[in-house]
Chains A and B, each alone.
Chain A
Amino acid sequence: QSVLTQPPSASGTPGQRVTISCSGSNSNIESNHVHWYQQLPGTAPKLLILADTQRSSGVPDRFSGSKSGTSASLAISGLRSEDEADYYCAAWDDSLSVEVFGTGTKVTVL
Chain B
Amino acid sequence: DAKTTQPNSMESNEEEPVHLPCNHSTISGTDYIHWYRQLPSQGPEYVIHGLTSNVNNRMASLAIAEDRKSSTLILHRATLRDAAVYYCILRPRNAGGTSYGKLTFGQGTILTVHP
Co-complex (A, B): no
Measuring CB to CB, which residues of chain B are less than 8 angstroms from any residue of chain A? none
